[in-house]
Amino acid sequence: MIHLRFVLLFFAAFALPAQTPQAPEPQEEKRRVELNLLGKADTGAGESRRNENVQFNLVDNNALKELNVRLGATATIVNEFRPDRGYFGAEFGNAPSGGLHLTAAQRAGWHGNIFFNHLNSIFSARAFFQVGGVQPAREHRYGFRTGFRPWKGGYLSVQGGQEKLRGNVNGNVLVPRPDERTPLTGDPARRALVESYLAAYPTLLPNRTDINPRALNTNAPQVIDNNDGVIRLEQDLTARDRLLLNYNFVSQSVDAFQLVAGQNPDTDTRSHRARATWNREWNAGLQSQVSAGFDRVGSLLVPEENAVNRVISTAGLTMLGPAAIIPIDRAQNVYRAEGQVRASKGRHEWTAGATYMRRHQNGTETDAHRGYYSFSNDFGRIGIENLRHGTPSQFIVSVGDVHRGYRQSLAQWYVGDRWQASQNLTVQYGVRHEIAGSPNEVNGREEIAYGCDCNNVAPRLGLAYRMPGRLGVARGAFGVQFGDVFPVTYSQVRFSPPGSTKFAIPAPDLLDPLGAAKEGGLPPDAKGNLYQLDPELASPYAYQYNASWEPDFFRQWRLQFGYVGSRAHKLLIMWYLNRAHPVPGVPQVTATINQRRENPDLAEIRWVLNGSRGYFDAGRATLLAPRIGGLSLDVSYWFSKAIDLGADYTNTAYDADTRLSRSQWEFETHADRRARSLFDQPHSLLLRSSYEWRGWNVSGVLLLKQGTPFSVTTLDGPGFGNVDGNGGDRPNLLNTSILGRTIGNPDTSVARLPRGAFATIAPTERGGNLGVNVFRKGPIRNLNAMLERSFRARGETRIAFRAESINLLNTPQFAEPGSTFGTPEFGFITNTLNDGRTFRFGVSLAW
């Protein structure tokens, strides 16, 4: 835990920087989220290194969702909604979209820098739950950047870098006890298959029996290689014309850690980004820009060579993976063109432009095509016993060809004006019209049900008024912001018949889950899932608004008080329909799930629609102190509340997102799911400052936040849930006094989340009375610090040495406890979301 006295003394002496030198560039942080890059941390915003054992698949917007759950949102006031930018989600701290045009960055002479950073585990602290010493780990980051004038009117800049991360990931996994490592089935073939599943777990025996009889703390190596390069040319064509060309390459290769065999996929990500911009200055008040761009992102996620042939999910044990959506082989190409005109006349500054984008997505995505066995607490036995007997509760498998190519056109046009209405009043207004064309499969393999979303009109207005005296400036802004229907959302139609069929078979035979050849080649109880898109599916949108006041009470201190809010509509969500319901005379057991469905010819109908809304409100106060005697200070506090109806603005209505937003039963989803959002944090404080003295700079960041929420759930099987064939069940609450508790200390977590406060539902109940996200994980208390010394060598050449500590006080950010009621790990905290203290050393040469 943080010692408050030490922190206060630390900041009194040096504090931490308004602009931490080690903080990544905004564009770098944006690319990290867009490409789902591992091994990155925005230390300048107070982020600690993430615990790599909290795995997520490096596709779609998973990195953003992981950041939201681990760090929460940053309430952000956008002073002006530019018409050429999209700000959907910007109130949570996300970078705005758009901006194809390149900007000039020429400098006189030859300039550049080279750098080398090193991290070594000999300076690192042990993870909180780690058994034994720190395992060997090394990280090297090195690169260069240079720019010069190769000929008249030209400026060429080149940069490149590599990262080599060689580490060991520590984590807790649930493995069989010594007396659970042999099969109990007498059938030789079934016994051999069960033995292969048991052999996928480490031979090491549980060593954290204090938290769970099956808990093993162990380590596994992980290798990450990153490469990036940029080449850029700026050429003056005439006195009024300039051509800018830019190419950016980024790649990442992840040889993933495997605490159990085949746990995580190996990943290769490659990104190519090319831009060309022609700038012309027609006269002093009229400029134009025309740009073209091409983006390509390739993602390959494959099972590790030791992975078992199926996904094996066993209640009370770590899943044998990787996830059911692996493998993925995807390539997305985006072609862009944009033109813009800016004109100034009198008190007006006009901006107008248009953008066209063509999106191509090709490749193979899977949905349990490897097969998925679930061994639940069922048949009068717990999950591990069913695994040993070879008696799964359910088998899910998809059959068919899932290679597809999708095409979609998108366009925007916009116009806006900044009007200096008076000496004290500035008005910014504009409108943006976005068109999202209906996607199609290039070979006509299936039809995308929804049409063009062509009526997305987004007005925006901003005001800034300078009040008399020292009352300062008052600002306000309003805008309608549109999101996107993600390609991974609409491409799920590939998983529906006739191209592919997903079968859910309750109580299957482990050796022959699809049964002997019968009518249609399948047993009568093998039912297929159907993926459907709402014909009215449209782009999500949000009303975003804010107001702020910046008084001028102090000459050298800047204050800002503000409010930001949004109301998001038509957020994407998947509803699981055609679930099993109680039927008189039919036993409420797993084996009768398909028999109890309304449409007996299908298993689930997975319906993607605009079925959720989001609500966000935040108040924020900021104090900025410019450099005073070498000291600078930046401190912000915000109070916020985020609520949604089952899905937030990041939801893709695909895979894990659908399970997070799933209601307990088929109907009344909004009533069941209305709750705090997964990134909700009422109180947050960010303090940054730096102190410079005779070439020395001491700086750092302190981030204090409440933890994000989590839910308590139960299994779906008899005696626990409603046995409708879907998870998301919750128990009944018996003790209301525990609502809202923070469960953030492994020493007290079981007592603060007692089993006796909950009860399973009755056999035919629709669901429990416990709400969603009514408990919180432990708080964030992270301190990053850095010491830097810069020397002038000759002329403009400087050498800098840097020592940086991430999570200086080695404060753990605990993950949520075991939250599935009825399992042995319920209430126990077994993991952290952040890594232990590390030190990183660097040297750079700039000229």
Question: Encoding tokens for residue 350?
Answer: 């006009």
Give the list of residues 6+ apart from residue 96 with CB closer than 8 angstroms, or none: 78, 82, 85, 86, 87, 90
**Amino acid of residue 831:** N
Average pLDDT, whole number, for the chain?
Answer: 92
Starting at the earlier edge strand, list the strands of the sheet with 709-710. 709-710, 775-777, 742-743
Q: What is the pLDDT of residue 106?
A: 73
pLDDT of residue 16: 35
pLDDT of residue 490 exceeding 50: yes
Give 662's pLDDT tier (boundaries 50, 70, 90): very high
Predicted confidence (pLDDT) at residue 519 exceeds the cutoff of 60:
no
Say yes or no to pLDDT of 517 above 70: no
Strands 425-436 and 440-441 turn out to be unpaired
CB 195 within 8 A of CB 390: no
* pLDDT above 70 for 14: no
Task: Give yes or no for residue 694 having a pLDDT over 80.
Answer: yes
Q: What percent of the chain is predicted at pLDDT more than 90?
A: 79
User: What pLDDT does residue 503 have?
Assistant: 85
| Sequence-ordered alpha helix ranges (H) in 380-452 | 383-389
Question: Residue 601 has what pLDDT?
Answer: 86
- pLDDT at 518 exceeding the cut of 60: no
Looking at per-residue pLDDT, the higher value among 19 and 157 belongs to 157
pLDDT for 27 equals: 67
Alpha carbons 392 and 389: distance in angstroms, whole number: 9
DSSP run (H or E) holding 150:
none
DSSP, res 254: E
Mean pLDDT for 243-271 is: 97
Instruction: Give the domain ranges of the chain.
Output: 4-846
pTM of the model: 0.92
Alpha helices in 667-720 (DSSP H): 669-673
Which distant-in-sequence residues (6+ apart) come within 8 Å of 598 by Cβ? 578, 581
* Model pLDDT, residue 823: 82
Q: Which residue from 399, 405, 381, 400 is spatially nearest to 391, judged by alpha carbons?
A: 381
- Beta 675-676 vs 713-714: how paired, if at all? unpaired
d(CA 173, CA 54): 12
pLDDT score recorded for residue 78: 97
Q: Which of 541, 571, 680 is nearest to 616 (CA)?
A: 680
Q: Cα separation of 85 and 344, whole Å?
A: 20
What's the CA gap between 709 and 741, in Å, rounded? 10
DSSP 8-state class, residue 762: P
pLDDT value, residue 395: 92
* C-alpha distance across the termini of the chain, in Å: 43
Contact 818, 825 (CB under 8 A): yes
The CB density around residue 107, as the number of other CB atoms within 10 Å, is 11
- Confidence tier at 291 by pLDDT (50, 70, 90): very high
Which residues make Cβ contacts (< 8 Å) with residue 283, sequence separation at least 6? Answer: none
8 Å CB contact between 387 and 315: no
Rounded-to-integer distance, Cα 40 and Cα 814, Å: 20
Q: Which amino acid is at 529?
A: N
User: Which positions ≥6 away from 777 have C-beta within 8 Å?
Assistant: 707, 708, 709, 710, 742, 743, 744, 814, 815, 816, 833
Task: Check residue 171 and give its pLDDT.
Answer: 92
pLDDT above 60 (res 4): no
Question: Which of 527, 655, 683 is CA-nearest to residue 596?
Answer: 527
DSSP code of 470?
G
Contacts of 705 (CB under 8 A, 6+ apart): 71, 72, 681, 683, 684, 685, 779, 780
- Distance, in Å, from the CA atom of 187 to the CA atom of 283, rounded to the nearest integer, reads 86
What is the pLDDT confidence band of residue 26, given thresholds at 50, 70 and 90? low
Taking 70 as the threshold, does the pLDDT of residue 505 lie above it?
A: yes
Half-sphere exposure of 58 (CA within 13 A, CB side): 28
Report, as an integer, the average pLDDT of 747-766.
94
pLDDT in tens, 366-396: 999 999 999 988 888 989 999 999 999 989 9
Compute the distance between CA of residue 562 and CA of residue 370 in angstroms, rounded to an integer. Answer: 52
3-state secondary structure 789-813: EEEEEECCEEEEEEEEEECCCCCCC
Residue 699 has what pLDDT? 95
Contact call for residues 80 and 71 (beta carbons, < 8 A)? no
- The contacts of residue 700 (CB under 8 Å, 6+ apart) are 10, 14, 15, 16, 17, 20, 688, 689, 690, 783, 784, 785, 786, 808
Query: Per-residue pLDDT averaged across 335-356, rounded?
Result: 98
What's at 723, amino acid-wise? V
pLDDT of residue 35: 87
Q: Residue 763 class from Cβ within 10 Å (0-12 exposed, 13-18 middle, 19+ buried)? A: middle
Give the pairing of strands 820-821 and 713-714.
Answer: parallel
Residues 446-467 as b/e (b if ≥16 CB within 10 A, e otherwise) read: bebebeebeebebebebbbbee
CB neighbour list of residue 475: distance below 8 Å, 6 or more residues apart: 79, 462, 463, 464, 465, 546, 547, 548, 549, 550
The whole-number pLDDT of residue 516 equals 39
Q: Kindly give, in sequence order, each residue whose CB lies less than 8 Å from that of residue 844, ignoring residues fewer than 6 positions away.
A: 113, 114, 115, 116, 799, 800, 802
Q: How high is the pLDDT of residue 718? A: 87
Cα dihedral sign, 734-738-743-745: negative
List phi, psi (to 5°) of 54.
Answer: -90, 85
- Segment 243-266 mean pLDDT: 96
Q: Which of 685, 659, 824 is nearest to 755 (CA)?
A: 824
Burial 320-355 (b: 16+ CB within 10 A, else e): bbbbbbbbbbbebbbebebbbbbbeeeeebbbbbbb
Residue in 354, 364, 350 with CA at minimum distance from that of residue 286: 350
Q: Is the pLDDT of residue 5 over 80?
A: no
The length of the chain in residues reads 847
The CA-based angle 611-612-616, given to 5 degrees, is 165
pLDDT of 456 higher than 60 = yes
What pLDDT shows up at residue 526?
64
CA-CA distance, 477 to 77, in Å (whole number)?
9
Residue 107's pLDDT band (cuts 50, 70, 90): confident
With 50 as the cut, is the pLDDT of residue 8 above it? no
* CA atoms of 592 and 378, how far apart (whole Å): 13
Of the pLDDT bands very low, low, confident and very high (cuts 50, 70, 90), residue 528 is confident
Q: What pLDDT, on a 0 to 100 scale, did the predictor assign at position 15?
A: 35
Domain 4-846: state its class. Answer: mainly beta
Q: How far apart are CA 12 and CA 803, in angstroms?
A: 20
Q: Under a CB-based contact definition with an 8 Å cutoff, are residues 360 and 439 in contact?
A: no
C-alpha to C-alpha distance for 217 and 231, rounded to whole angstroms: 45
pLDDT per position as a tens digit, 474-485: 999 999 999 999
Q: How confident is the model at residue 2 (pLDDT cuts 50, 70, 90)?
A: very low
Q: Residue 523 has what pLDDT?
A: 52
- Identify which has the larger pLDDT, 53 or 641: 641
pLDDT of 25 > 60? The answer is no
Q: Convert the pLDDT of each residue in 138-172 to its tens digit.
A: 999 999 999 999 999 999 999 999 999 999 999 99
Least confident of 79-88, 558-567, 710-719: 710-719
